[in-house]
């Protein structure tokens, strides 16, 4: 979701929003914030991709969400982060201290409104994720994932910033099942991969039908 009123695009922040936040670079795999850390900052992806993860007491990992250029993340209802966030690729992140927004006048108020909008989007995506985990077959899960990321990133072809294990952890599947479903969708002519990470959807309507079948 782009920040409404700031005319943000994938090339970076518009003049005005840059005055509110600090640009921070993160290397691949670098932690942006930790599970249990104070949630007093708001983050926005300028370039790259981010994942949020939660480590269970038994060592299992659940991926909460993926974030791409323009997305706000790190927004919590409570004082601490329930998930950690890591850079999936080389990233540039804008960081704003939420408590300081009241000092920025109209720009601060516009960002607060954008945070509320991002919260609504996050709730909707969480509901979709719960439906995906609980009610969809393995093939429907993988097809849904490919449709979603292609829609969010746009372009004729889509680059997957995450690996198969990240996809598996997000979808509640094993890595072997994810690989098998990707092979099946490609064999049916619904998607076409160039290498492990880049794909295009060859038959969007048929792939969408697979999700709801």
Task: Give the HSE-up count for residue 124: Cα atoms under 13 Å, Cβ half-sphere.
Answer: 7
Distance of alpha carbon 24 from alpha carbon 43, whole angstroms: 10
Check residues 136 and 32 and name the one with the higher pLDDT: 32
pLDDT tens, position by position, 80-109? 999 999 999 999 999 988 777 776 677 767
Check residues 77 and 146 and name the one with the higher pLDDT: 146
Q: Is the pLDDT of residue 183 over 50?
A: yes
User: What's 202's DSSP letter?
Assistant: S
Coil vs helix vs strand at 203: coil
Distance of alpha carbon 26 from alpha carbon 33, whole angstroms: 11
- Ordered domains of the chain (ranges, CATH): 22-129 (2.60.120.10), 136-212 (1.10.10.10)
pLDDT of residue 120: 77
* C-alpha distances in Å from residue 58, one per residue of 55, 61, 82, 83: 8, 9, 16, 16
pLDDT of residue 17: 53
Are 178 and 137 in contact by the 8 Å Cβ rule? The answer is no
Are 37 and 102 in contact by the 8 Å Cβ rule? The answer is no
Q: Is the pLDDT of residue 143 over 80?
A: yes
List the 72-73 sheet strands across, edge first. Answer: 22-26, 91-97, 41-47, 72-73
Distance of alpha carbon 134 from alpha carbon 115, whole angstroms: 28
**Nearest Cα to 69, choosing from 95, 43, 47?**
47
Coil vs helix vs strand at 89: coil
pLDDT tens, position by position, 21-47? 799 999 999 999 999 999 999 899 999
Distance of alpha carbon 160 from alpha carbon 175, whole angstroms: 15
Q: Is the pLDDT of residue 65 over 80?
A: yes
Q: Is the pLDDT of residue 2 over 90?
A: no
């Amino acid at each position: 979701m782009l920040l409404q009123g700031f005319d943000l695009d994938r090339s970076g922040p518009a003049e005005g929003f840059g005055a509110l936040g600090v640009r921070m670079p993160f290397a691949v795999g670098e932690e942006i914030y930790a599970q249990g850390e104070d949630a007093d900052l708001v983050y926005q992806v300028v370039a790259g991709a981010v994942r949020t993860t939660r480590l269970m007491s038994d060592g299992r990992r659940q991926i909460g969400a993926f974030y791409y250029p323009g997305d706000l993340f790190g927004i919590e209802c409570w004082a601490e982060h329930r998930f950690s966030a890591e850079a999936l690729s080389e990233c540039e992140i804008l960081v704003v201290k939420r408590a300081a927004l009241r000092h920025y006048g109209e720009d601060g108020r516009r960002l607060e409104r954008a945070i509320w909008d991002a919260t609504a989007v996050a709730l909707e995506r969480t509901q979709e994720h719960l439906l995906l985990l609980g009610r969809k077959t393995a093939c429907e899960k993988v097809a849904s994932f490919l449709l979603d990321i292609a829609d969010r990133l746009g372009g004729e072809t889509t680059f997957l910033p995450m690996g198969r294990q990240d996809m598996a952890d997000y979808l509640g599947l094993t890595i072997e099942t994810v690989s098998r479903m990707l092979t099946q969708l490609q064999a049916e002519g619904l998607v076409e991969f160039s290498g492990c990470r880049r794909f295009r959807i060859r038959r969007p309507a048929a792939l969408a039908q697979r999700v709801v079948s």
